[in-house]
Amino acid sequence: MIKNILLKIQGSQELNSEKIDSVELTTPGTIEYLDEGCKIVYEESELTGMKGTTTTIIVDKSGRVTLNREGTTNSCLVFEEGQRHMSYYDIGEGAFTISVYTEYLEADINKIGGEIEIEYVLEIDNKVMGSNNIRLEFEYVNGDY
């Protein structure tokens, strides 16, 4: 069953211990509970620079988080604490391969809402592009849990 949620998303990027970018937004979305975990879906906005993109976050029971984007931006990022994953990233004007090393991952989803926090290092062509933090919190809308 798909349930309505309200998401608060915070993201930041640092390079050499200096914050170079941050974003915070609140947006509606949905959550669906699956046998292997759950799936959260929301639409990106102009604020993230990815308007026209649908983001799907899959949290599986093993603790792995997969972030898929489809639309004006296309990518699939896999986060597993202590693991490095390669990914293809297409921003419409060009595509490239990136590496994501997850330093920290915590996902807590329960009957009143949930929280996902991910800290990771992003590399392009073996060059560190920055340390990133994503924090996603959600609550059910209209008691829809």
Q: Check if the beta carbon of residue 130 is closer than 8 Å to that of residue 11.
A: no
Domain assignment of residue 96, yes or no: yes
48 DSSP assignment: G
144 DSSP assignment: -
Domain assignment of residue 106, yes or no: yes
What are 28-58's pLDDT values in tens digits? 999 999 998 999 999 987 766 678 889 999 9
| Percent of the chain topping pLDDT 70 | 96
Domain assignment of residue 62, yes or no: yes
Domain region containing 25? 2-140
pLDDT of amino acid 58: 96
- 53-70 burial string, b = 16+ CB within 10 Å, else e? bebbbbbbeeebbbbbbe
Domain assignment of residue 63, yes or no: yes
Is 80's pLDDT higher than 80? yes
Is 67's pLDDT higher than 70? yes
Q: In sequence order, which ranges of 6-144 are alpha helices (DSSP H)?
A: none
Domain assignment of residue 145, yes or no: no
Domain assignment of residue 129, yes or no: yes
pLDDT of amino acid 144: 64
Q: How far apart are CA 37 and CA 62, in angstroms?
A: 9
| Overall domain count for the chain | 1
CATH label of the domain that carries residue 122 = 2.40.128.20
